[in-house]
Structure formats: C-alpha cells, structure tokens
Structure 1
Amino acid sequence: MSLLTPNWSKPNNVGAVSSTREDGASKAPFSGLNLGMHVGDEPSDVLANRHALEVKANMPSSPVWLNQTHSTKVVTVQVPTEQVLDADASFTRTPGVVLSAMTADCLPILICAKDGTAVAAIHAGWRGLADGIVEEAANLFDSEAQAWIGPAIGFESFEVGLDVKHAFCQMNPEYGIAFKESVNPEKWLANLALIAQMKLQASAISDVTQSNLCTFSDEKRFFSYRRDGQTGRMASFIWINH
C-alpha cells in the first residue's frame, strides 16, 4: 500500500498521512484503495481498505469519518467515534482521535499546533473555500500553527466559469493571481491551493506547505472526480499520539 507522508516538519507527537488509490480491494471503476462508502463501491471492499490503511499507518484508533457537503461546519471531536459526523472539517485536542478529510479533487488541508496540542482536518472544494471553511477551522487554534495542503486538482487542470472567479475576486481582489484565462472562451483556470494558502496566512497560519500534487493529472496514484466521474476517494488524516 502506497501512503503519502506530508512534506512538512510537524511536531514529533503528531501523526499525519494521506492515502493514494494504489493497491486496495476495490474493483473498477473504484479500482484500488477507495475509502468512500458513498460512491457506489462494495461496502465490504471499502471496509477492507479502511482497515488495511488503519493498520499500515499505525493509527491509534479508527478514523472519524465525515459526511461532507461543502459546508463551513467544523466539528470538535472529543473522543473516537464510529458515528459519521455532518461537517466538512474536524478539530481535536484529544490524543488518539484520528481526523479525516476525504477527497477526489477537492483540497485536503491538515493543520496542527506547533506545540502538538491541537490538530484539524479540512475538506475544501471551491464553494467551501469561498464560504470560509478554512477560516472557521484556523480560528480554533489559539497558539502558533502550521498547515499542509495535500493532493488536489491542480492549477492547469481546474477549469471554472466566471462565476467562480467572481466569487473569490469580489471577496478579495488579491485572489486574482490565482486565476488565468483558459484556452476555452469565458473559462478560467483556478489555483485553489494558492487561495487556500492565502486564506490560511490571513488567519495567522503563516507556515503553509504545499504538496504540489495534482489528482487530475496523476491517474496512477489518485482518484479524480473531474477526470473520471464515478470514482473512488482518497483521504488525509491527522492525529495526536498518546
């Protein structure tokens, strides 16, 4: 099983990992390590994938999974739970609670306090990003923190309409640097990872590391909803060790 270790210098007591699609029990069109129970895959295969990942990553407990709806809701998790929580980000100060953000083009963002006392995992599509999910999660940290932005659809692959560009640039004209004209008329290419970095830094999280990995262009390693339609899901995880 191929797992990604975020390329940041985190506290020693914090664990973090991001999955790929490689290996796993799922069959086409979810071929590989699909972690999404909601995409039409065989539930037993998804559970097998989740268990194998949990063991491989040496997680202290089973991950807390979210029912993600592109909202700005952040849930604070006090104890490990098998209940699927309605939110697009999660936060904890409790050692042993494994947070998750499930993606297949959207941004997975992990945040940890530099003293290792708090962590968060965020799922951010363009709408959640525009509405403020990053700020909602970042504001829960009351000490210096750092962030990692994981595999997501890249600048050259994410074509959007003028409505998306306006949603960001009317909010802050500085976000204009995250857009460039596409070869297709009235279409733009959007750099969501850059906007997320700008939002994190505006929320006093200046230490931001980009994975610079594109889900759309790397079919071997990543699921991509924009590329394939019906497909699986990866996830990024973070926790505080006991």
Structure 2
Amino acid sequence: MAADRIIFPDWPAPANVVALATTRNGLAGFAGASVEPYSRFNLGDHVDDLPASVSKNRDALLSACDGLNAIAWLQQVHGTEVHLVSAERGEVAVADASISHIQGLASVVLTADCLPVLFCKIDGSAVAAAHAGWRGLLAGVLANTVKAFNCPPQELMAWCGPAISQAHFEVGPEVYRAFVDGFAGVPKEQIDAAFSPSINKQGHFYADLNALAKAQLHNLGVAWIGGGDLCTYADAERFYSFRRDGQTGRQVSLIYRR
C-alpha cells in the first residue's frame, strides 16, 4: 500500500501487531466511494455522507487488512471513556478510546484534526486506539487508555497519527489556562513549551497537541513514543481537516493483533 493511500507507523511494534492510518485517497484498486465534499475514502458515518458510500469504504478497508475479522467502531464524544472490545457485537460503544486483546478485532478512531494515538504492549498481547482532541486530551483520555492496559506503562509503546499541527491550531487563552490548571502529570514548563503566542490575535496561542500528548505519555512512563509529524490541515491531498474545510470526511487510525 502506497504512503499516499495508507500510512504505517515507523515504530518497533511486535510482528503480530498491525497498525495503520488511512488517507482520503483510498486503497490500491479502490480510491473510495465518497464524492465531494467527502471525496474519496471517507470512513465517518456521522458527517452526512451517503451511508452506502461509507459502508463501501469500510468494507473495503476490512477486506484489505490481512488477518482482520472485524473493526470495533466507536461513537466518539470528545470524552475519556475507554471501551474494552469484545467478540460479542452489540451497539456501537460511546467512547473515545478502545482496547483489544482479541486477535483479528481492531481498535479504531476517526479523526479530521484531532490527535489519534495508537498503543500496543511490547509483547503484542494487547492494542488500543485513542481519540485526543484538546478537550479529551486535557480530561485524561490518554491517561485512561494507558491505565486500561492494567500493566506497568513501561510495557507500552505509543504512536501519534495524523493531526493538526501547531502552526495551524490557534486557540484562545482559556485553552492555555485550562491546561495549566488541569493537565494531569505535566509540569507547567512543558505545557508552556507547547503553546506559542499567536501573531494574529492578542492573547491567543498556537497549541501543539502532539507535544502535549507526548509530554503526558512520557511522564506516565510509556516506554516508546513516536509519530506526530503528519499535519491534517497542511496536507489537503491526503487528509481531511475539519478546521480547514468544515464539512468534510474522516480518516481512521486502526490497530489490531494478527
């Protein structure tokens, strides 16, 4: 799969762990069923795209992944709930992260600027995906995901997928103050380093989601942390971006045990 279509993390995950991030360009032999403003490979079923198009795209993704039997889709609400994926398929869970111990059953999150973070145990026995916009990140979705593994953080690794970069993510002073006052486990100097003053609006900042996430994960003790070099806003050829386009599709970051 070409990098303009599917992105694979450059990380030292065990051989039985498969992780990837999609782009709007679809798969080899299937560019996607969605049309503007969702073209081409939209995987979000909550953005007013045609349900039949989303279903075709999701089916194509499932078929393209070796050893993947099912994808545990979530209803994301910018919260901190971590869903334990099970083989029993019921209603779509309301959560912003999921963890899977089951071979062939994927954890997945949808994004279009928010930060997706994929996790796995170093021994390959469990995987997770988390959706971290600034609200969920601040409230503890990544910390909760680490805790959900029920093992020392030193047994985990994490990869930060495509998200809006600091240069394009302008926020108000209330966001900076919220992180200073309530971002668990991260000292103020590290928070300050992730906010640079806006050149457009006095008192506003450019926020670095990747830096904030990595600082928290590092302080939690996660053994390996990487990624974070792909900007959804700047790369319109590959990625959906809500802040850039408003009405748009969603890409996914997905991980499973083979």
**TM-score bucket of the superposed structures, by smaller chain:** over 0.9
CA distance in structure 2 between the aligned counterparts of 1:103 and 1:59, rounded to whole angstroms:
24
Q: Distance in 2 between matches of 1:37 and 1:91?
A: 21
Match of 2:17 in 1: 14
For 1:189 and 1:44, the matched residues in 2 are separated by 38
8 Å CA contact 1:15, 1:239 repeated in 2: yes
- Whether 1:34 aligns to 2:42 is yes
In the alignment, structure 1 residue 119 sits paired with structure 2 residue 136: no
**Partner in structure 2 of residue 224 of structure 1:** 241
CA contact (8 A) 1:88 1:133 kept: yes
Say whether residues 1:160 and 2:171 are aligned partners: yes
Aligned residues: 241
Q: CA RMSD in A?
A: 1.3
Tell me which amino acid in the other structure corresponds to 1:182: S
Q: Which amino acid aligns with 2:216?
A: K
> Which runs of at least 4 in structure 1 moved beyond 4 Å after TM superposition?
none
Measured against aligned partners, the alpha-carbon deviations of 1:111-150 in whole angstroms (never above 9, x if no partner) come to 0000001111000100000000000001123140100000
Q: Is the 8 A contact 1:122 1:137 kept in 2?
A: yes
For 1:124-143, what aligned pairs fall within 5 Å after superposition? 124-141=132-149, 142-143=151-152
SS at match of 2:148: coil
Give the CA deviation at 1:7: 1.3
Tell me whether 1:200 sits opposite 2:217 in the alignment: yes
Aligned to 1:176: 192
% identical aligned pairs = 42
Question: Residues of 2 paired with 1:92 and 1:52: CA distance?
Answer: 21
Query: In structure 2, what is the equivalent of residue 99 of structure 1?
Result: 107
Quote how far apart the aligned CAs of 1:186 are: 2.0
Name the SS of the counterpart of 1:122 in structure 2.
Answer: strand
Query: Within 2, Cα distance between the matches of 1:225 and 1:187?
Result: 20
Q: Secondary structure at 1:63's aligned position in 2?
A: strand
1:175 CA displacement: 0.9
- Give the aligned partner of residue 57 of structure 2: 49
Question: Per the alignment, in what secondary structure is the counterpart of residue 170 of structure 1?
Answer: helix
Say whether 1:65 aligns with 2:104.
no
Distance 1:120 1:24 in 2: 26
In 2: Cα distance, 1:80 partner to 1:169 partner: 41
Q: Secondary structure at the match of 2:166?
A: coil
Look up the equivalent residue of 2:238 and give its one-letter code.
Answer: R
Aligned letter for 2:92?
A: V
Unaligned runs of 5+ in 1: none
Following TM superposition, by how much is the alpha carbon of 1:80 offset from its aligned partner in structure 2, in angstroms?
A: 5.8
Given the two structures, how large is their TM-score scaled by the length of structure 2? 0.90
Show CA shifts across 1:160-182 (max 9, x none). Answer: 00011111122341311000011
Q: Secondary structure at the match of 1:91?
A: strand
SS in 1 for 2:20: strand
- Which amino acid in structure 2 is aligned with residue 16 of structure 1? A
The superposition leaves residues 34-74 of structure 1 with CA deviations (integer Å, 9 ceiling, x where unpaired) of: 00010000000001111111122225212110000011100
More divergent stretch after superposition (195-204 vs 110-119): 195-204
| AA in 1 matched with 2:163 | A
Distance 1:86 1:13 in 2: 28
